[in-house]
Amino acid sequence: MLTIPSTSDVELILKKYGAMNDFQKLIRKGVDRTELLRALSWRYLAKATWENLTGTSRQGFMRALRDVRSGADAIDRLARGQLDFHLFAERCVAQGMTPIDTTEIAQLLREYASQLELHSKIYGPKRKWGSHSWKAYVVAIVWESTGQPWDLQVAAIISAVQNGKKAYQVHAHEEWRRKHSELIELQRDFVRECHTTPLPDFPTICPI
């Protein structure tokens, strides 16, 4: 089970890895302390593993897709039999109910499996989509709150929470920010909306 650290846990991480001064500077510049700490804690939701994404291993996920498609094939076979016809007639004539379109059920299952497979290629662990979205959200909070990106300070707090060390240098962060400017703009829109209608303590809608 994925455990999200508390905001106090995040503060301890920042202190441990020497990023608390950078964090405090951002707060003095106008960033809401609780909002930023909560955003930093969501780093642990951005850890894209097959277990987090699908509830199983990659091998288990691929096996589940095969099972879903196999189930669709089984439905197609059953739909060609007389028993399916009797079920159709009973629902329509005897019970006055809308008949079950078994061919549609089979098609929906195939589409479901195909969409899951497609999204696994887009959001799979190798794409690091969750990590990029999380960093963009942290940048967006700082930028919307202060009017500036504060690359040095943001790089420091991200590095502390993400890597547990200051391996993420400011020049690397600046390059990342330029490369993912569109994603950051989307997150800035999200932040502006949240500032209008604040999220609950543990949001049902997460930016990641």
Q: What digits encode the pLDDT tens for the residues 166-187?
A: 567 899 999 999 999 999 999 9
22 or 208: which carries more pLDDT confidence? 22
Domain spans in the chain, listed from the N-terminal domain onward: 7-48+128-196, 56-124
Of the candidates 149, 196, 145, 199, which has an alpha carbon nearest to the alpha carbon of residue 176?
149
Residues constituting the chain = 208
- Give the pLDDT band (50/70/90) at residue 49: confident
Q: Tell me which residue of 71, 98, 76, 77 sits closest to 87, measured CA to CA.
A: 98
Q: What is the spatial distance between Cα 147 and Cα 162, in angstroms, rounded to a whole number?
A: 24
Predicted local confidence at residue 148, as pLDDT:
95
Q: Which two tokens stand for residue 202?
A: 């543990």
Mean pLDDT of 48-61: 82
Q: At what angle do helices 7-16 and 20-28 cross, to 10 degrees?
A: 120
What does the pLDDT average to over 11-21?
Answer: 92
Contact 50, 57 (CB under 8 A): yes
Which range is most confident: 24-33, 78-87, 100-109, 194-203?
A: 24-33
The pLDDT of 7-33, averaged and rounded, is: 93
How many helices and strands in the chain, by DSSP H and E? 11, 0
- The least confident of 14-18, 154-158, 159-163 is 159-163
User: Which pTM value belongs to this model?
Assistant: 0.63
Q: What value does the mean pLDDT take over residues 102-128?
A: 84
Q: Do 80 and 167 form a contact (C-beta atoms < 8 A)?
A: no
Provide the residue type at 32 as one letter. Answer: D
Q: Can you tell me the distance from the alpha carbon of 167 to that of 17, in angstroms, rounded to the nearest whole number?
A: 11
Q: Are 76 and 103 in contact (CB under 8 A)?
A: yes
Mean of per-residue pLDDT scores for the chain: 83
Q: Over the stretch 55-103, which tens digit does the pLDDT of each residue have? A: 888 899 999 999 999 999 998 888 888 777 767 666 666 666 666 677 8
User: Counting beta carbons within 10 angstroms of the beta carbon of residue 42, is it exposed (0 to 12), middle (13 to 18) or buried (19 or more)?
Assistant: buried
